[in-house]
Structure 1
């Protein structure tokens, strides 16, 4: 008689991990899975790779991947389901990893159908539907930020008259700060809501929220086998002319022990109220003037962009290895990282539409001046004759990563490099 084996039964030997992503930045996770001795399958999404000028073919990811499948659009759940079922039939899947917002929910649904551990599908869907997330948190007594989904300027204005200006207008479902606005008055509200009616990011609805004042941070928190892992609190910077646009991050945040614990306790309460079950989550939080944490948004996936690298630079270790182990439902130790340095990133793009420079200026001066404190510095212009105004994370063309034992120095070096680069380019940049 033969017996079916669950993923948990196979966790002592080589296991099969399936990554679903369009980001080459996830390559360290592929490497981590191979280092742990596992079989790695990658499912790519060609449509998004092309739209974001991502070239997987020239990246070195392939040496860490045993099998690759390229879909036209991995967000097409029927196409993804067919691919995953074929992969699973050939070699049973033990765990999935998906770190892109648009792919977490489709992967979660398919994992649930196959009985493979992953983030809970209904909870992930609720997290991404921002008004639903707020309703769940309010019912649980975790957070009570006022909000409303509106279909017209009149409805938005009625909310703002009650909540008071400024208000935040954002897509009811979305990520990357795309389409988000801090609205100062009735005239601007009319303009923003009017534009949103024809704007792609607002397909799921227009969400109007109470404006939260305070210190902007994010909590990176793991959940494995019912136990929380407190990984990091990072501090975030935004552009003063468009507060919805993030311009950078420092890990760890400059918080005292009590503030850190309050943020982490709140993040645990948020993740627990949604019942996400398994994964590493990125919880964006505002610490109010009264010291009380309030939710900005919950992302049911690992922190994005270069932040896993900042985590490592600051001394937190390999978060990608931890991610793989969590998604294979392995036991992991809940000990918090012991950071030894402060790692900072600053992103920048064009403030206004401006002609694309003919070439990238010489950047060698930065390494010569700042030495080992500068860990990465890139300027890469998109195709086209004009740099469009940067109003979302995808509009950046420059990135600086720095590290230093002193928090203020780490931030200052990154900001100095951005300022000097703007001067060399002869343009105003977001910073």
Structure 2
């Protein structure tokens, strides 16, 4: 028995992550043929094992590439798949692959997120230029060639400023700069043209307020409002996100302003089709401003938080939208608050010989949904300054907003005490 009324179709997933693997099951439940293109380099960097994933059982055919971001190899693989069995839709939830997949989809005439829109969204300065021209967001920004240009921008805009790669993800290479001395120090390590700044060094006006994200879908010109999530950053390195709660504890008026702004941003970027993650700062004056636009589903474990909070299955929606189905909008209400806290080493520390016993966490009962630690290879834990540096994750669900957050943060604090090191939190 399947949940769909039309004939089986062929959906191709380009790479996978543990947090989005349930989409394979959703596609099979909807009655479709599922093909997966794996990327070994990405799997190694994420420390995930496809053969150990229970969701592999829902994949009909698998193709393995050393690195799916090598566009020529990816195109050749996709063309071979398409020749053997016509592709009806693609799903790509990894930042580095949305643009290549969008280009290949356009070449084949297969519905997907606009290639130009996705490229513009990922090149942050171009995204800001487009939004400024549309009158949506005039946040000050500039791509700079070195310290002198960055210092000139900061002198005009006022400190603090944000410095980050013009194209990037996972908070890698991002800094909040409080003064000229700190800017000079950062530029001792930053070189335009070198990873992660290969597309330029971007400096931006620093925004204050409530850090949120809007999760929205777009199908046949109709927006689908999924959730507004609230984000938490680490005080010592504010560019690093350490957690999320779904839904955000904001009033109805703020919710509408955030969603209306996110929809206007997606429309201005001409993204056309997909599920999008739009990071927003809601100022004290009630004005939303863009932090970052991601032309993909919310990342990490956030789709699971959405389900835990009572929002339903986002993967069913993801597959249906990317197969270009008309999806009716519905009001989503949440019965609970789901919180995640990620953590890594705050400073360089010896790596423990093994993951400690976490049996004490059972005392949190049903409120604790997941608690994991996975140490990276090597003898030391390096300072975590980007999302890929996390080694721990806590997921909590509770009917009360404050309690959901306090339990998650208490578990992180106890984990830090158990490890005997300071962690990002």
Partner of 2:25: 31
Separation in 1, partners of 2:325, 2:285: 39
Do 1:153 and 1:194's aligned partners in 2 also have CA atoms closer than 8 Å? no
How far is 1:153 from its partner? 0.5
Separation in 2, partners of 1:25, 1:272: 27
Separation in 2, partners of 1:61, 1:88: 23
What do residues 19-78 of structure 1 show as CA deviations (whole Å, max 9, x unaligned)? 001423322000000000000000011122123322212222321000000011111111
Separation in 1, partners of 2:39, 2:229: 30
The reply on whether 1:240 has 2:241 as its aligned counterpart is: no
Separation in 1, partners of 2:19, 2:424: 23
Please say which of residues 370-379 and 42-51 is displaced more in the overlay.
Answer: 42-51
The reply on whether 1:14 has 2:5 as its aligned counterpart is: no
Do 1:24 and 1:61's aligned partners in 2 also have CA atoms closer than 8 Å? no
Please say which of residues 315-324 and 55-64 is displaced more in the overlay.
Answer: 55-64
Do 1:131 and 1:172's aligned partners in 2 also have CA atoms closer than 8 Å? yes
Partner of 1:350: 345
Do 1:285 and 1:293's aligned partners in 2 also have CA atoms closer than 8 Å? yes
Do 2:374 and 2:391's aligned partners in 1 also have CA atoms closer than 8 Å? yes
- Which among 349, 361, 370 is matched to residue 364 of structure 2? 370
- Which among 184, 188, 193 is matched to residue 182 of structure 2? 188
TM-score under structure 1 normalisation?
0.96
Cα RMSD between the aligned structures? 1.1
How far is 1:11 from its partner? 8.4
SS at match of 1:196: coil
Partner of 1:73: 67
TM-score under structure 2 normalisation?
0.98
What do residues 300-323 of structure 1 show as CA deviations (whole Å, max 9, x unaligned)? 000000000000000000001100
Do 1:20 and 1:44's aligned partners in 2 also have CA atoms closer than 8 Å? yes
How far is 1:195 from its partner? 1.3
How far is 1:356 from its partner? 0.2
Separation in 2, partners of 1:196, 1:413: 38
Partner of 2:214: 219
- Which among 143, 151, 176 is matched to residue 149 of structure 1? 143
Do 1:180 and 1:244's aligned partners in 2 also have CA atoms closer than 8 Å? yes
Partner of 1:385: 379
SS at match of 1:195: coil
Separation in 2, partners of 1:188, 1:25: 36
Partner of 2:310: 315
How far is 1:138 from its partner? 0.2
The reply on whether 1:258 has 2:258 as its aligned counterpart is: no
Partner of 2:158: 164
Please say which of residues 134-143 and 42-51 is displaced more in the overlay.
Answer: 42-51
Separation in 2, partners of 1:404, 1:281: 26
Separation in 2, partners of 1:381, 1:73: 24
Do 1:156 and 1:208's aligned partners in 2 also have CA atoms closer than 8 Å? yes
How far is 1:336 from its partner? 2.6
What do residues 259-304 of structure 1 show as CA deviations (whole Å, max 9, x unaligned)? 0000000000100100100000000000111110000000000000
Separation in 1, partners of 2:200, 2:76: 30
What do residues 59-104 of structure 1 show as CA deviations (whole Å, max 9, x unaligned)? 2232100000001111111111111111011110000000000000
Task: Give structure 2 stretches of 5+ with no counterpart.
Answer: none
Task: Give structure 1 stretches of 5+ with no counterpart.
Answer: 1-9
